[in-house]
A = this chain, B = another copy of it.
Amino acid sequence: MSAIKLVIIGGVAAGASCAARARRLSESAHITLIERGPDVSFANCGLPYFIGGEIKQRDALAVQTPALLKATLNLEVRTSTEAVAIDRSGKRVQLSNLTTGHTEWIDYDKLVLAPGALPVRPALPGMDDPRIFTLRSLSDMDRIKAAAATAARVVVIGAGFIGLEMTEQLARLGKQVSLVELTKQVLPQLDAVLTGLLEDELRRQGVALILGDGIDGFSHAGGLTCRLKSGRTLEADLVVLSMGVRPDTALARDADLALHPSGHIRVNGFMQTSNPDIYAAGDAVAVEDFVSHEACAVPLGGPANRQGRLVADHIFRPTQTRPYPGALGTAIVRVFGVAAGITGWSEKRLQAAGRVYRSVLVNAHHHASYYPEAKLLLLKLLWAPDTGRILGAQVSGAAGVDKRLDVLATALAGELTIEDLAQLELAYAPPFGAAKDIVNLAGFAACNTRDGLVSPVEALPDDPHVQILDVRPPALVKSHPVPRREVINIPLGALRERCHELDRQRPVVTVCALGKTSYFAARILAQNGFQVRSLTGGIRAHYDPHTPIKPPTP
């Protein structure tokens, strides 16, 4: 193995991580890193923030240069070079220098494909307009930044992670931004109940949010006009398409490597393709999903880096390498003052797959409520009723979202149950947490649901036979009523003596601001013989992400 020839195609996250790890494991290997673009190992997750001016130094994003990689890692780096063919039986790959046009074949013992993904650019009328951009590389970034300098009106198509980041950053520059999203919510990866806070924040920041509509084409008689599926038109000086990515797997396909129907490269747990001397990693592959064990694509920087590293481990230390543990799909996005994210599966994904699950919604402050600047978080927890194991979690809020996602991702990876979450011993001091963290509370709520102590409902029923009991203080019910609902108002503190005001023959749904007091009320009523359910997540989750929890001070 000492003079192994390792050729890596793709020099950003997975490819660069693989090369670096390979060198640590073997000083003698010949390692060649091929990159079609002009840059290697750049920080592509940072591109929006340079456009928006939060990151001020372009150099900060250029993590490595070919010269630096030569000096520190003794890599042979070829940029602006495309791998155009693989000769599997001859174990060689054909390269084309995009500057000179020169082509040559180079030999490999092990080949690593890390070509990444390409932005989706649908074939729509008018797509050739130079004011329509996608963002993937440093040069894409430079072009958008230059165009943004003179643009006033921006249209962003697609409200996924990149679309939201671009919207935030372009609005930060003072642009009039319209954000168009085909589904009825931003961040379609999440359940809609989590994204209300983001949508509210976008509107507060002056973004024109157009949900349930998509791009149909562009016309440019004079200005650039975006035509939406609804017939609506938007004038734009700059359009950013953020409609997702597709794996860049033409080379793998031409080499007859096995692909998934989605076009992603098939790999085993050690990232080997159907040819064991050819590995693949990063956005171009599908890996095993941690929850379902089926193939899934997670085109994100963290997994790409770790997969690239794993490839090098398996090449140089095969017997000591543990297979990739499966993807959780953990992701987060900041939108101005709020953030939201997910780990594991959403409810809509569980539903679509026909899986059995249960869920709760919990609101709680991100640190001790009595300590200044406590912000409310909303957490949705999904679990398997047979084992109690966590299937997924989503969090939104103004602070501490990342911490809870990371705790829940760790819990998911450790196959923890709702009981385990209830008992987690997290770090508590008033500036940092609470004696009962929202993760504990979610565990409590889930166990209570499992044990039948409470029956959560996700929406207030339309059936007029059901009594809606609002247990907030009367002043709050008056100032912030449940929208479009007749309710009976008995505050919690008076419920034991006034529960005779409710009709015992009719079901009750209890409601409050956060879903906590309504649970308390439901316990009282259940033990008094009522058939009762509680609106999980409260008014805050379902109607108004800013509803107050205390009556206005007079």
Measured between C-beta atoms, what is the minimum distance from A317 to chain B in Å? 7
Residue A423, interface by CB 8 Å: yes
Which of A190-198, A299-307, A354-362 lies at the interface with chain B?
A299-307
Q: Copy number of this protein in the oligomer?
A: 2
A413→B63 CA distance, assembly (Å) = 36
Interface members, chain A 43-90 (any B CB < 8 Å):
43, 45-46, 49, 54-56, 60-61, 63, 68, 71-72, 74
Establish whether residues B24 and A453, one from each chain, have CB atoms under 8 Å apart when the complex forms. yes
Residue A5, interface by CB 8 Å: no
Establish whether residues A333 and B429, one from each chain, have CB atoms under 8 Å apart when the complex forms. yes
Cβ contacts under 8 Å, A309 to chain B: 444
User: Which of B43, B54, B414 sits near A415, CB closer than 8 Å?
Assistant: B414
A294→B23 CA distance, assembly (Å) = 45
5 contacts between A and B (CB under 8 A): A43-B368, A56-B372, A302-B428, A306-B423, A414-B414
Cβ contacts under 8 Å, A437 to chain B: 302, 406
What 0/1 readout, one digit per residue, does chain A (366-383) give for beta carbons within 8 Å of chain B?
Answer: 001011100000000000
Establish whether residues B24 and A370, one from each chain, have CB atoms under 8 Å apart when the complex forms. no
Task: Select the residue from A45, A320, A440 with max chain B CB neighbours within 10 A.
Answer: A45
Establish whether residues B330 and A426, one from each chain, have CB atoms under 8 Å apart when the complex forms. yes
Residue A183, interface by CB 8 Å: no
Count class of interface residues, chain A: 35 or more
Cβ contacts under 8 Å, A428 to chain B: 45, 300-302, 330-332
Cβ contacts under 8 Å, A68 to chain B: 493
Q: Which residues of A contact B (CB under 8 A)?
A: 13, 23-28, 43, 45-46, 49, 54-56, 60-61, 63, 68, 71-72, 74, 161, 165, 300-306, 309, 317, 320, 322, 324-325, 327-334, 339, 341, 343, 368, 370-372, 401-403, 405-407, 409-411, 413-416, 419-420, 422-433, 435-437, 440, 444, 451, 453, 492-494, 496, 520, 523-524, 527-528
Measured between C-beta atoms, what is the minimum distance from A55 to chain B in Å? 6
Establish whether residues B414 and A416, one from each chain, have CB atoms under 8 Å apart when the complex forms. yes
Establish whether residues B425 and A303, one from each chain, have CB atoms under 8 Å apart when the complex forms. yes
A493→B415 CA distance, assembly (Å) = 43
A427→B332 CA distance, assembly (Å) = 6
Cβ contacts under 8 Å, A330 to chain B: 425-428
Q: Which 8 A-B pairs have the closest CB atoms?
A: A414-B414, A71-B493, A27-B527, A332-B427, A60-B370, A402-B432, A301-B435, A403-B403
